[in-house]
Each structure stands twice: as C-alpha cells, then as structure tokens.
C-alpha cells in the first residue's frame, strides 16, 4: 500500500512537471515567435529606409538631400507623398527629423497620415538614443514590447557633408503578439488549469495523508497512559527486526486489589504514573506499549555498548518498588514483575517472542513477583521451535479430544503399594506430549483455561469410575476464587457425587490469599467428601492461617526440598519440620520428586506418608475403556 | 529630455493617465505661479474644464478668460489676452508664441512638453535646470 502510494505520488508529480514544462515551453515559443517577427519588421523597416534614402537622393539630385529639402518646400511636399506610400497598418509613422542649431529635434518631412508634424515643429524624443544614432551614423532600433504588442522606432541616418544631417524615423507598431497570445492562450489556460488541478489534488492528497497519519497516531496510542496500544503493536510486530530489540513485559503486581480498594480512578492514576516513570527511564528510541490492562511491553533498541537489558528492567522494577504512588494523599506501594527476552530473534516470530516474554513474566509472578525473570539461560541454548504451542493448537486439541490426563502413581511409603494417582494434563500432538508448562501460561487468561479444567475433571471422574483409586487434580487458589472454574468443579462434583470422595484437589499457593470467600468455597468442596491438599508446601506463600480456617487433608512437600534432602541438611530439616507439623495437625504428607533410592529412604525414615516421583513411577496414559492401574506395583 | 521619457512616459503609459496629467498640470501651474495659493484658470475645451474642476482647491475655474490667471487653449486662435497660456496643440503654441509659456500635447503616441523662451521671459518665469532642456527659442 505504501509503495502504491509512493508510485502514485511520483506519477502525479511527473504529470505535474510535464504540464509545467509544456506551459513553460509554450511561453518560450511565444517569445521566440515575437522575436522573429520583430526582427522581420526591423529588417523591413531597414529596407524601407534605404529606399527612402535612395528616393530622396534621386528627388533632390544630390547625395546630401537634407540641405535641399530644408530649402525647398516643393521637394518636401513630394517627399512627404512618397513617404506616405510606406504607411501600412504596421508602419504607422514615417518622418524625417533634423537637429536645429540649438540641438533640438524638429520635423523636416512627415509622411504620416495622422499626427503629422509640420516642417520645423519640435519633437520630443528619447534624446540620448537619438543622439547616439546621429553620432554613430548607423541605423538604430528603439523598440519595446509586451504581451500585447511590439512597438518602436527605426532610425536611419541621412548623411551630410559633416556627418549626419537628419534621420529617417519609422515608427512601427503591431499587435501580432496579442494574436499569437490569443491563439495560444486557450491551450495555455488548459495547461494552467490542469497544472492547478493536479497541484490541488497533490495538496489534498498531502492533506489526507497528514490526516491519515494524525488519525493513525491517535488510534495507535492509549489515551490514558500515552503509550502505544495493541493496534500499534500489531503493526510494529509486522515490520520490526527482532534482532534490533530487547523485549520486556511488565505487569503491575496485585493491580486488581488497587482497583478494588481505591477504585478505578486510583487505578487509572497509577497506570498513568507508571507509564510516566517508565518513559523517564527509557530512551526516545525505545518503544513503550500498553499490552493489556496493567501489562506493558517495552522494546528496547539494541546497540553494542548499550546497557544490558537486565539493568534497565531492574531499574524500572526498583523505580516502582522504591517510590510509592499517591492517590488523594494516600500512599500506594506497588511492585512490578518483569519478563525479559534478551534476544527476540531466537523466536520464530516477534509474536512468539512476545508470548515468551509473557511466559517469563508468568514465571516472575509464580516465583514471588517484584522480580525480573530473563530468558538469558534459555537463550544460550538453541531455541526449540517444536515446543511452541498456540491458542489454536490448544483449542484444536480440545475439539479433537487430544487434551488428556496422564496419571502418576502415589505410593504408601510404609508398604510400598500404590494408593492413589495424580492426574497430570497433557496435550497430544503428533505422537508427542505438551506438558502444562508449555501451554498453561498461554491459556491462563483465556476461556480455554476453564475448558481444559473441565476436560481434566471429566477425564478424572471417567477414570475413577473404572477404578477404586483416589485421584488428585491440580488447581490454583485463584482458580477456586474464579467463578467459572469453581462452578465447573462444583458441577462435576454434583454430577459424580458418588466418586467425589475419591477426588483430591491439590491447591497451589501462588499468591497470599486470606479471603473468607476462599474458605467458604473450600468448605463447600469438602462437603462432597473431596479432600484438599496443599501443593508445593514449603515454597511460595505458606499461609498458616488457612489451616486455622479449613481442614487441610494432605500436604505435598515441595519437590525442591525433597530432591535436595539427601544432599542438603537444611532441606532435610525443613522436610522433618513439615512432617512434624503435619503430624501435629493429623495431616497426611506426600513427598514429590523422589528420584532415587536415597531420597526414598530419607522420606520414608522422616515419616512421610506417601511418595511419588519418576523413581517410583512415571506418569502414564490410561486408554479409554480399560480398567486402569491393574499392573502398577 | 531624458526626464520626460524616464518619468512622464511610464506614468502616462501605466494607465494612470488622468492622475499623471493632473500632476503635470499641478507642476506647470506651480511653475508659472509658484507663490499663489489660488490660481484662476480658464479653458476653451469642455473636457479640459471638467478636468481642471477636479484639480483641487488651488485651481479655481473661471467663466471668462479675462478673469483667469492662466489660460489653457486647444481650439481658440484669436484670443486677445495677456495671460500665460498652456497650449494643447502645436498650432496654438505657434499662434501664441509670445504668451504660450508651454505646449503640452500628444503627437505620434509621444507626450510633448515644449517651453517657449520668449513667453517665459515675457512672464518672467524661471525654470529649473532639468526643464531647461525643453526650452526652445521658436516654436
């Protein structure tokens, strides 16, 4: 489109130039014709003058006819008649002028039909030029012209014994330029109109382009923050070279709480203030985009010698964390989480780089917020494009029934028997599996998340129908507070009331929640006989208040503690402490990530009730129609 | 002479003939009566009378030549009056050579300005050096 516009503009400009050239050329031709005609008439006047001189010599019988003409009125009369013959519409006056004793010019003979001068009558002339003609003794042309006509006087000296005695003056005047002008004028006017029309068109085009850019500018900026918006982002991503940027995705932590507590006015003020702070910390060549509600993208221009992007990201993080925002004299402390993609060109497309930044941001939020998470470590490895998954892939997998669960056995460490299973969601795609880490961040804020949850619960209850084992599913605390997810869970529990007591809901504490609504909903879930487990206990937000308000049935000790318990005394002691805490409250425990015999022994000796991990048994699929878990030992 | 061509002709040709003529007449009146605040003028031409009537307070048009300080003639050839005359034809200039101070008329598309030395002397009129070039001894 841009190229077409440029070509069209060039085309118009070339027409504009061509018309201007033709207009100018016509003017030149017009002028040249006038000059040629003028020359023609001057030559003609010269010829006449020579004839007059010859005639006068013959008439007076003297080579110096002026003397005799001065003395003889009859000769003057004859001469005047002869000169009158020359008069034409072009040659208006023919006369002979002499200089008197005082240097004044006077008529000697006048052959003109109008305005005839008498013998001796003074005549006002352009004295210096006439004098020059007298002195030089050479013919002189005094001519003038304009668009309408050419006029002038041809002076032909008549020589006497002592220089010039008189001059033959022929006044010519013609309106040929007007005639030429009259003939060419319509064409010139046509060119002029075309010229003006194209000029106007180009002006309008330029004006429209200006308006277009102005409108585009408005349409591509977020009115609240002044940052670019997603419309701009789409255009930007289409035309950008990822190798010239670092990419930051920033999210304001707990922004929803600010809106809930102080109102949207405060929220807007903070968004605006945040954007202003960021603008002060980045350069003009960097690009700030409001990606979503409280999510921002920054494309930092890359150049050798520039600051590493982590420093910029960290500076933004601290600028927000260190200085509170103010709303009606109220201090509002805020933090941001930042996902950083150092080399966006490693991704298949800029869009995927943005998604990757979103994933880094997601990790930053999962691991405690107020931090910068970079893909630097991963960036050193060749990017595995095969692992990329899109919303379309997930939706398609749901439609085709390729969202399935794999089940990992959980063993009773006291007798080594499998007692329950953990359902782990997978997407099957071309004989490979996508794990939740591959696609949950992608769909976390989409309706697909609820669809996948529903599919998992349906799948789990289906398997439970065919077995006697308990099965646990993973949810986040925020999922319980999400009306849609919660409704799906309750609906499935009601639908499978007889099986509900074998369902274990493993909750992941990603955020500190102390909500009465959460407690109420967990209690309602437990009324179905469903047990509640806390996942990854020992990391994240260990909210002991939750234990006061609801009965937790199972604690799943965080995998990182379990994995390192055999080599790190602190981890081991934490595991022991968690076990003692669980014993006190009568809560069963599960050790995840048991990856070797040593870890298994330690967990068993620590009194951990259950255990799971690849050493004990990897997750596996359950084919439809089969009675599952028969071969697990 | 050069003054006439350089100054007068362009002014006249530029279409401001009427205004330019007024300026020339004002100049001529000032030349003839430099000290007089009101100059009484008579002309034998209706058009010129209308023209002079619009020249402002300094020029007062009179009904008879005898009442005038200055006479502008185009047609009359036998006026017996001893007043400075501005001749608007060469014939008039020649006819009143003792009293026609100046001839101002057009011929062959050229403005003609001719002062007669005898008339200037008769009325004791002095010209600037620039205008001396237009003075002739005989018409």
What ipTM was assigned to the predicted interfaces of this complex? Answer: 0.87
Instruction: With beta carbons under 8 A apart, name residues in chain A contacting B114.
Output: 122, 124
* A557 lies in the same domain as A452: yes
Name the residue in chain A with its Cα closest to that of B103.
Answer: A122
Q: Which of A179, A204, A220 is the last residue of a domain?
A: A179
Q: Give the residue numbers in B contacting A (CB under 8 Å), as ranges.
A: 1-2, 4-5, 90, 107-114, 133-134, 136-139
Name the residue in chain B with its Cα closest to that of A171.
Answer: B108
B5: closest CA of chain A, how far (Å): 6
The contacts of residue A260 (CB under 8 Å, 6+ apart) are none
**Residue A90 forms part of a structural domain:** yes
The CATH number given to whatever domain includes residue A515 is: 3.20.20.450
In angstroms, rounded to a whole number, what is the distance separating the alpha carbons of residues A184 and A204?
A: 30
Contact A518, A477 (CB under 8 A): yes
The contacts of residue A393 (CB under 8 Å, 6+ apart) are A427, A429, A434, A439
Q: Which of A353, A385, A417 is the last residue of a domain?
A: A385
Q: Which residue bears the tokens 């409704």?
A: A487
Of B2, B107, B111, the CB nearest to A128: B2
* A378 lies in the same domain as A412: no
In angstroms, rounded to a whole number, what is the distance separating the alpha carbons of residues A317 and A277?
A: 11
The CATH number given to whatever domain includes residue A260 is: 3.30.70.270
Backbone angles phi and psi of A143, in degrees to 5: -125, 155
Backbone angles phi and psi of A88, in degrees to 5: -135, 175
pTM, two decimal places = 0.45
* A115 lies in the same domain as A234: no
Instruction: With beta carbons under 8 A apart, name residues in chain B contacting A146.
Output: none
* Boundaries of domain holding A319: 230-385
Q: Is A123 on the interface with B (CB under 8 A)?
A: yes
Q: Is A417 on the interface with B (CB under 8 A)?
A: no
For A109, what's the count of Cα atoms within 13 Å in the CB-facing half-sphere? Answer: 32
Interface contact flag, B90 A117, Cβ < 8 Å: yes
Domain annotation for chain B: domains and CATH numbers: 2-136 (3.40.50)
**Residue A323 forms part of a structural domain:** yes
Closest of A449, A419, A456, A406 to residue A554, by C-alpha? A419
Q: Which of A340, A369, A385 is the last residue of a domain?
A: A385
Q: What is the pLDDT of residue B109?
A: 86
* A334 lies in the same domain as A469: no
For A186, what's the count of Cα atoms within 13 Å in the CB-facing half-sphere? Answer: 3
Residue B72: helix, strand or coil by DSSP?
Answer: strand
* A348 lies in the same domain as A488: no
B37: closest CA of chain A, how far (Å): 31
User: Would you tell me which residues 133-192 of chain A have a C-beta closer than 8 angstroms to some C-beta of chain B?
Assistant: 151, 171, 173
Interface contact flag, B107 A123, Cβ < 8 Å: yes
Looking only at the bridges linking them, the beta strands covering B39-43 and B70-73 are parallel
Name the residue in chain A with its Cα closest to that of B137.
Answer: A102
In the predicted model, is pLDDT for residue A545 greater than 80? no
Name the residue in chain A with its Cα closest to that of B89.
Answer: A115
Query: Structural domain tally of chain A?
Result: 3
Q: What is the pLDDT of residue A633?
A: 58
The CATH number given to whatever domain includes residue A35 is: 3.30.450.20
* A97 lies in the same domain as A122: yes
pLDDT digits (tens, 9 = 90+) for A409-423: 999 999 989 999 999
**Residue A54 forms part of a structural domain:** yes
* A249 lies in the same domain as A291: yes
Name the residue in chain B with its Cα closest to that of A121.
Answer: B139
pLDDT digits (tens, 9 = 90+) for A217-262: 888 999 999 999 998 998 899 888 988 999 999 999 988 888 888 8
- Rounded to an integer, the average pLDDT of A518-541 is 88
**For residue A543, what pLDDT band results from cuts at 50, 70 and 90?**
low
* A396 lies in the same domain as A262: no
Contact A565, A572 (CB under 8 A): yes
* A431 lies in the same domain as A332: no
**Residue A196 forms part of a structural domain:** no
Q: Is A309 on the interface with B (CB under 8 A)?
A: no
pLDDT digits (tens, 9 = 90+) for B1-30: 555 554 555 555 545 567 888 888 999 999
Q: Is A487 on the interface with B (CB under 8 A)?
A: no
Q: What is the pLDDT of residue A542?
A: 60
Averaged pLDDT score across all residues of chain A: 87
* A349 lies in the same domain as A420: no
Query: What angle is formed at CA A99 by the lines to CA A96 and CA A105, rounded to 5 degrees?
Result: 75
The burial class, CB within 10 Å (0-12 / 13-18 / 19+), for A349 is middle
**Residue A206 forms part of a structural domain:** no
* A373 lies in the same domain as A401: no
- Rounded to an integer, the average pLDDT of A12-31 is 82
Backbone angles phi and psi of B61, in degrees to 5: -80, 135
* A371 lies in the same domain as A280: yes
């Amino acid at each position: 489109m841009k190229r077409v516009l440029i070509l069209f503009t060039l085309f118009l400009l070339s027409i504009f130039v061509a018309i201007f050239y033709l207009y100018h050329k016509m003017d030149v031709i017009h002028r040249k014709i006038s000059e040629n005609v003028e020359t023609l008439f001057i030559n003609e006047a010269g010829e006449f003058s020579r004839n007059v001189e010859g005639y006068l010599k013959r008439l007076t019988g003297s080579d110096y006819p002026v003397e005799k003409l001065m003395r003889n009125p009859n000769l003057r009369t004859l001469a005047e008649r002869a000169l009158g013959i020359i008069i034409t519409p072009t040659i208006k006056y023919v006369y002979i002028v002499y200089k008197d004793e005082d240097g004044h010019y006077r008529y000697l003979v006048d052959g003109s039909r109008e305005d005839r001068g008498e013998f001796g009558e003074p005549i006002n002339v352009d004295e210096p030029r006439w004098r020059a003609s007298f002195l030089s003794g050479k013919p002189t042309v005094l001519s003038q012209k304009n668009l309408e006509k050419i006029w002038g006087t041809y002076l032909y000296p008549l020589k006497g014994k002592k220089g010039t005695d008189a001059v033959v003056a022929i006044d010519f005047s013609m309106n040929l330029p007007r005639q030429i002008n009259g003939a060419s004028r319509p064409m010139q006017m046509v060119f002029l109109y075309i010229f003006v029309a194209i000029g106007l068109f180009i002006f309008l085009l330029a004006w429209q382009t200006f308006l277009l850019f102005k409108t585009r500018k408005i349409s591509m900026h977020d009115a609240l923050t002044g940052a670019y918006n997603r419309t701009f982002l789409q255009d930007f991503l289409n035309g950008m070279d990822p190798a010239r940027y670092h990419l930051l995705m920033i999210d304001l932590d707990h922004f929803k709480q600010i809106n809930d507590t102080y109102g949207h006015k405060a929220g807007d003020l903070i968004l605006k203030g945040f954007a202003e702070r960021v603008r002060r910390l980045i350069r003009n060549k960097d690009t700030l985009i409001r990606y979503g509600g409280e999510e921002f993208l920054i494309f930092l221009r890359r150049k050798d010698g520039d600051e590493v992007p982590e420093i910029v990201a960290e500076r933004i993080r601290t600028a927000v964390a260190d200085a509170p925002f103010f709303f009606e004299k109220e201090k509002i402390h805020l933090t941001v989480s930042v996902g950083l993609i150092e080399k966006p060109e490693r991704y298949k497309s800029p869009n995927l780089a943005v998604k990757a930044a979103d994933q880094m941001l997601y990790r930053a939020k999962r691991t405690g917020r107020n931090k910068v998470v970079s893909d630097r470590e991963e960036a050193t490895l060749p990017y595995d494009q095969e692992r990329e998954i899109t919303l379309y892939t997930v939706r398609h997998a749901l439609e085709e029934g390729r969202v399935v669960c794999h089940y990992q056995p959980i063993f009773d460490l006291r007798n080594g028997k499998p007692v329950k299973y953990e359902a782990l969601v997978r997407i099957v795609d071309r004989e490979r599996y996508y794990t939740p880490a591959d696609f949950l961040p992608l769909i976390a804020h989409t309706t697909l998340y609820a669809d996948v949850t529903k599919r998992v619960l349906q799948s789990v209850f289906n398997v439970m129908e065919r077995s006697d084992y308990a099965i646990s599913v993973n949810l986040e605390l925020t999922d319980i507070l999400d009306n849609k997810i919660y409704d799906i869970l309750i609906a499935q529990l009601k639908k499978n009331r007889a099986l509900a007591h074998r369902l274990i809901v493993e909750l992941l504490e990603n955020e500190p929640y102390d909500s009465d609504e959460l407690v109420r909903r967990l209690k309602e879930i437990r009324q179905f006989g469903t047990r509640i487990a806390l996942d990854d206990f020992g990391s994240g937000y260990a909210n002991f208040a939750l234990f006061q308000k609801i009965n937790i049935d199972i604690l799943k000790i965080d995998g990182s503690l379990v994995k390192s318990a055999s080599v790190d005394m602190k981890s081991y002691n934490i595991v022991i402490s968690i076990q003692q805490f669980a014993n006190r409250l009568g809560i069963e425990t599960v050790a995840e990530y048991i990856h070797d015999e040593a870890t298994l022994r330690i967990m068993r000796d620590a009194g951990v009730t259950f255990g799971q991990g690849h050493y004990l048994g990897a997750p596996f699929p359950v084919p439809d129609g089969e009675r599952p878990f028969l071969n697990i030992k | 002479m050069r003054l006439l061509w350089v100054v007068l002709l362009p002014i006249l040709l530029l279409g401001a003939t009427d205004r330019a003529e007024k300026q020339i007449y004002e100049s001529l009146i000032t030349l003839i009566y430099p000290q007089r605040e009101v100059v009484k003028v008579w002309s034998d031409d209706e058009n010129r009378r209308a023209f002079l009537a619009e020249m402002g307070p300094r020029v007062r048009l009179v009904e008879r030549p005898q009442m005038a300080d200055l006479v502008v003639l185009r047609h009359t050839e036998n006026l017996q009056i001893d007043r400075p005359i501005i001749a608007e034809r060469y014939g008039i200039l020649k006819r009143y050579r003792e009293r026609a101070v100046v001839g101002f008329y057009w011929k062959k598309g050229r403005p003609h300005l001719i002062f007669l030395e005898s008339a200037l002397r008769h009325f004791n009129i002095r010209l600037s050096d620039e205008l001396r070039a237009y003075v002739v001894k005989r018409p």
